[in-house]
C-alpha cells in the first residue's frame, strides 16, 4: 500500500511536496494544468519508467522543474515513494516497517536510485516489487487507454497481467535468471573440458 509520495523539483513541483495516502480512496482534484497528472507521472518515474514519452516529455531531464514566471529552473528532481511494509510484502521485515524508494536525476543526465536511503540499482527495485502488483508494467497504474489495451491484448499478454496479480511472475523471472546462469556455467564447463583435452 502506498503511504506517501514526496516530490522535489519534479515537473511543476519545485518545492518539496508531500502527499499522504490513507486507507480508502484518495482523489486528487484541481483545475486543468495544475499538475494532477504530474503526480501520477512521479509515481511511474520513481518506479523506474525509462521512457520520457510516457511521462509526456522528450528527454529524461524534462522531469526537472524548468522554471516558471518568478522562479528559475532547478538542477535536480527527486521523488520518494513510501510503501507500507507492515506485512513484510516488500523484501521482508528486514527492510523495516516502511520501504522508501527514491529516484533522482540531475541536469547532467546522471541519476540514481535508493532503497531506504541506500544506493541501489533499478533492478533491485524491480526485484523488490515483482509480484506485488506495483510497477511500471503492472496493473496498479491504470492510465487512460489501458482498459482498452487489456481488452484487446493477446491471450499471452493478458495472462502475464494475471500472473503478476497472482504473484507468479516473480518466480518466473527468477527461473529465467537461474536458467541463464545455468547456461553460462555449461558454457564454462565446455570450455574447461576443451582446455583439459588440450593439456592431456
Ligand atoms: P489536465 O487536467 O489538463 O490534465 P493536470 O492537472 O493533469 O491537467 P498536468 O498535466 O499534470 O496537469 O500538469 C501540467 C503542468 O505542469 C503544466 O502547467 C506544465 O507547465 C507543468 N510542467 C510540466 N513539466 C514541467 C517542468 N519540467 N517544469 C515546470 N513545470 C512543468
ipTM at complex level: 0.92
pLDDT at 36: 92
pLDDT of 143 over the 80 cut:
no
pLDDT at 34: 92
| CB 126 within 8 Å of CB 82 | no
pLDDT of 57 over the 80 cut:
yes
Q: Which of 14, 28, 37 to mutate to test the pocket of ligand 1 (most atoms within 8 A of CB)?
A: 37
Residue 10 CA, ligand 1 centroid: distance in Å: 10
Give every CB contact of residue 57 below 8 A, 6+ residues apart in sequence. 63
Average pLDDT, the chain: 90
Strands 118-120 and 98-106: unpaired
pLDDT of 146 over the 80 cut:
no
pLDDT of 77 over the 90 cut:
yes
Q: Tell me which range, 45-54, 161-170, 180-189, is most confidently predicted by mean pLDDT.
A: 180-189
Segment 159-179 mean pLDDT: 84
Give every CB contact of residue 55 below 8 A, 6+ residues apart in sequence. 41, 44, 45, 49, 62, 63
Residue 54 CA, ligand 1 centroid: distance in Å: 14
Confidence band of 138 (pLDDT split at 50, 70, 90): low
pLDDT of 13 over the 90 cut:
yes
Residue 11 CA, ligand 1 centroid: distance in Å: 7
Q: Which of 38, 44, 61, 65 to mutate to test the pocket of ligand 1 (most atoms within 8 A of CB)?
A: 38
Strands lying side by side in the sheet with 17-20: 17-20, 2-8, 76-84, 98-106, 111-115, 118-120
| pLDDT cut 70: percent of the chain above it | 98
Q: Tell me which range, 15-19, 20-24, 87-91, 133-137, is most confidently predicted by mean pLDDT.
A: 15-19
Residue 51 — φ and ψ, nearest 5°? -100, 115
Segment 18-45 mean pLDDT: 92
139: its cell numbers: 496493473
Closest by CA position to 11, among listed 70, 79, 112:
79
Region of 74 (left: φ > 0; alpha: ψ -120 to 50; beta: rest) is beta
186: its cell numbers: 555449461
Delineate the domains of the chain, giving CATH numbers in brackets: 2-136 (3.40.50.300)
Q: Which residue has the higher pLDDT, 94 or 156?
A: 156
**Residue written as grid cell 533522482:** 104
Amino acid at each position: 500500500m502506498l503511504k506517501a509520495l514526496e516530490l522535489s523539483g519534479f515537473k511543476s513541483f519545485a518545492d518539496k511536496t508531500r502527499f499522504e495516502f490513507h486507507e480508502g480512496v484518495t482523489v486528487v482534484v484541481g483545475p486543468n494544468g495544475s499538475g494532477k497528472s504530474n503526480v501520477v507521472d512521479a509515481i511511474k518515474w520513481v518506479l523506474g519508467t525509462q521512457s520520457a514519452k510516457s511521462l509526456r516529455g522528450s528527454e529524461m531531464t524534462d522531469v526537472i522543474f524548468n522554471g516558471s514566471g518568478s522562479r528559475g529552473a532547478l538542477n535536480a528532481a527527486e521523488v520518494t515513494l513510501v510503501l507500507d511494509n507492515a506485512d513484510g510484502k516488500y523484501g521482508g521485515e528486514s527492510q523495516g516497517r516502511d520501504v522508501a524508494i527514491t529516484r533522482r536525476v540531475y541536469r547532467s543526465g546522471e541519476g540514481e536510485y535508493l532503497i531506504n536511503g541506500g544506493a541501489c540499482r533499478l533492478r533491485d527495485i524491480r526485484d523488490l516489487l515483482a509480484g506485488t502488483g506495483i510497477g511500471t508494467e503492472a496493473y496498479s497504474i491504470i492510465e487512460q487507454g489501458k482498459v482498452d489495451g487489456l481488452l484487446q491484448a493477446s491471450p499471452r499478454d493478458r495472462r502475464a497481467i494475471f500472473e503478476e496479480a497472482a504473484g507468479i511472475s516473480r518466480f518466473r523471472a527468477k527461473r529465467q535468471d537461474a536458467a541463464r546462469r545455468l547456461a553460462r556455467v555449461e558454457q564454462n564447463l565446455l570450455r574447461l573440458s576443451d582446455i583439459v583435452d588440450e593439456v592431456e
